[in-house]
Structure 1
């Protein structure tokens, strides 16, 4: 089913200029569990209440999932168009392969950026060395909508090892700037629009400010925090207003992801396809059904059929 992203214009709230004068949290999103075959994820975006936060149109929290020896994730080749995927692991490893020839194990702290553009196919599996013993997988996978001018660019793959991602400490809080600029640091990860993606670890009682961006939200992967008078529990996302100087305070030891950026306008999403044009998604569905998408190099004997 197609889902339409709409973002009505809102008048600026003059009360936001006054201390505690405006609502800091516009929406609190509780994720829903989604079975991916063998393990489940918490799907945060999109929801009926909120389709996007900045350019981010899809947000999955994977695990933590424990696998016995001989088991693991095994996502067969599938397609994407007009978006970019961003994979970031806390624990475990995923083997990424795609139709531009990439073969890349993704490990904790790495940033894996796959740009679908006019069309890409990829698979997500695990190396035999990983599945040979009991192991755990835990991380986040997000999708970025691309600006209209970039939706049909050539597909590409970018991998950034953990050591290349900036680390800063603000008031005793360790922070990684995964994408965009925040806290005086700029990530080397390629962006196509103003994009914010930050990971932070807060001890109970610690506080950080939310970086500025046109749209912003925080997801609590572990722990619990408060934003003003709003409590944000574990596995929930708080979408913020445009109030300045929003602070987050951990009520328990917490691992959080702050995301946001510029609003890109209306987007459609269906299955693995995102586009500003509904007809582009219909074309992508027809192309996948006809199997005219490029094949994953070294993994071209299986594929996920188009859902009927």
Structure 2
């Protein structure tokens, strides 16, 4: 690969009954635009005794974006939200100064039958001046998101701005996240359509860029203005994400992200002392990792 970009391979991480592919952060690339954390969940077969049950855990300094390709999850948070997320829809939770949430397999799907769970868990860092805003939650159905076709290739703008369109997801910085599915061989136009740093997650299939073939399970990181041609091979599904990077460094510890180490230390003590807001009727608690 030339100096136009960096190829990042998913690294396996075990989260209880699930094996996920960690894409960001990476030792040579901690962020792509404001995106600081991306886990690729599955595709995993969910069956009796192996349901998703992520108990109460906290966040600060970020917005979380959950995007499912297959399967469903129930999200609950300390703001009072209970929201089921289905394939193609978007859950957008602004953690700000502090929020607690859970993610679980819906009760009506715990009937012993098997189904596939496949999606992305994403953290977008908030601008420094907005890190302490009040928590919010927003949900958008698949039909709420801009979608269009070009030469038979299907586009959907998940968040931010791109290709002359704007997603309704209320982002706090200059960013984009676009879902692209190509049935036939297709040259992907990025220059002039997206701004800033860009990550290209290959969900399935294969792309060629700068005379290099990159298969699913990998991510290409580049700049939107680079001249390198990107071609999607037939039956390829990619997710584009990125935007303008922040000037300040972001620190990350467990589920806490901030431009301030002191704020992270304070959040750790708050969680250990059980001072974070809680979800009513939920007694679960994930301890701070040592």
What TM-score, normalized by structure 1, do the two folds share?
0.89
Residue in 2 aligned with 1:169?
149
Q: Which structure has the highest strand share of the two?
A: 2
**Structure 1 residue ranges, 4+ long, deviating more than 6 angstroms after superposition:** none
Counterparts of 2:268 and 2:179 in 1: how far apart (Å)? Answer: 35
Superposed CA deviations along residues 70-114 of structure 1, whole A, max 9, x for unmatched, are 531000010000111000000000000000000000100111000
* Secondary structure in structure 2 of the residue aligned to 1:118: coil
What is residue 267 of structure 1 aligned with on the other side? 250
Q: Structure 1 regions of 5+ residues with no counterpart?
A: 1-21
- What displacement does 1:238 show? 0.4
* Structure 1 partner of 2:110: 131
Matches within 5 A, 1:51-200: 51-132=30-111, 133-200=113-180
The question of whether the paired residues in 1 share the 8 Å contact of 2:73 and 2:103 is answered with yes
Matches within 5 A, 1:10-29: 23=2, 25-29=4-8
Matched position secondary structure for 1:180: strand
Please tell me whether the aligned partners of residues 84 and 117 of structure 1 are also in contact (alpha carbons under 8 angstroms): yes
CA distance in 1, matches of 2:19, 2:8: 18
CA RMSD of superposed structures (Å):
1.5
Kept in 2: contact 1:75–1:124 (CA 8 A): yes
CA contact (8 A) 1:88 1:109 kept: yes
Aligned pair in 2 of structure 1 residues 181, 92: CA closer, same or farther (>3 Å)? Answer: same
Question: Partner residue of 1:12?
Answer: none
State the shift of 1:298 in Å. 3.1
* Number of residue equivalences: 286
In 2: Cα distance, 1:204 partner to 1:247 partner: 16
TM-score (norm 2): 0.95
Gaps of 5+ in 2: none
